[in-house]
Amino acid sequence: MRAKLGQHFLVDEGVLAYEAKCADARSNSVLEIGAGDGRLTARLLSCGAGHVTAVEFDPKLARQLRMRFAAYKRVRVHEGDFLEYDEKARFGRVVGNIPYYITSPILLKLSRMNFDKAVLCMQKEVAARMMAEPGSHEYGRLSVFSQLTYRAETLALVERAAFSPPPKVDSCIVSLVKTGFLLTGCEERAIGAIFSHKKKSVKNAVVDARWDLFGSRDRQSAGQIAQTLKYNGRKVFSLSPSEALGVARQLCAARMQDE
């Protein structure tokens, strides 16, 4: 078992069946992230999934998957890192008990892929951060990104005992549908930069994040830009996702003028 690859296998048959049912994969083409030994893959097939692309990073598990599903024309095993997976095809569903150490990069990557609905099992605290309200303790960069990009819903709580070996955290099954809005790379980085100072005012956060935002810009000119921003007296954590986007857009425009 390779703990560093987030290998916690779902052993609770009830949860596996429920997750496959939520995925409603019938006649869809499915992308599975981190297929492991194929236990969820098998459930998806028995629920009538039209085609499953099973992505798995661990060569040993990928070999196991190829053997297990050798007789199935409907299964394609892709051995490699999902974050490097370059696929232009459209998927009806994206499903997976995802490796938790790369949840945010997976959510970012999925925002740039073409799919109708994702059903993912993720760490409970991360699901809470995705759905957190402005002003709450969990609210941050991930909430802003997720709420602009996805309509997310928690479908079920999954306790750590459902996995072997059990992880140190509980999990949630979450469904995601894209809103159709896509942040630019600059907007995404600008939101990240100001939310790393989320307890400060927008003005002070911009001054503190000036290196990430503007490269070598000095304190004074960062302060001048900060003065021109909407909501500059507000605390960063109080900005709604669309207000945060407004600030990010102004910051990206300021940076372009600078270049």
**What is the binding site for ligand SAH (CB under 6 A)?**
5-10, 34-36, 39-40, 55-58, 61, 81-83, 97, 99, 102
Across the beta sheet with 114-123, the strand order is: 75-79, 51-56, 29-33, 90-97, 114-123, 171-178, 150-158
Nearest by Cα to 95 from 182, 1, 176, 181:
176
154 closest CA partner among 181, 120, 111: 120
CB of 244 to ligand SAH, least distance (A): 29
Helices marked H in the chain: 13-23, 39-46, 59-68, 103-111, 124-131, 141-149, 185-195, 202-208, 210-214, 219-227, 241-258
CA max distance for the chain? 66
- Of the pair 15, 176, the CB lying nearest ligand SAH is at 15
CB of 59 to ligand SAH, least distance (A): 10
CB 129 → ligand SAH: shortest distance, Å? 20
Instruction: State the residue number with the nearest CB to ligand SAH.
Output: 34
In the complex, minimum distance from the CB of residue 81 to ligand SAH, in angstroms, rounded to a whole number: 4
Min. distance of Cβ 119 from ligand SAH in angstroms? 12
Contacts of 57 (CB under 8 A, 6+ apart): 5, 34, 79, 80, 81, 82, 99
Closer to ligand SAH by Cβ: residue 97 or 147 = 97
User: How near is the Cβ of 61 to ligand SAH at its closest, in Å?
Assistant: 5
Cβ nearer to ligand SAH, comparing 61 with 110: 61
For 86, phi then psi, to 5°, come to: -115, 100
The residue among 81 and 159 lying less far from ligand SAH, judged by its C-beta, is: 81
Cβ-based nearer residue to ligand SAH, 100 or 237: 100
**Whole-angstrom distance, CA of residue 116 vs CA of residue 27:** 13
| CB of 48 or CB of 59, closer to ligand SAH | 59
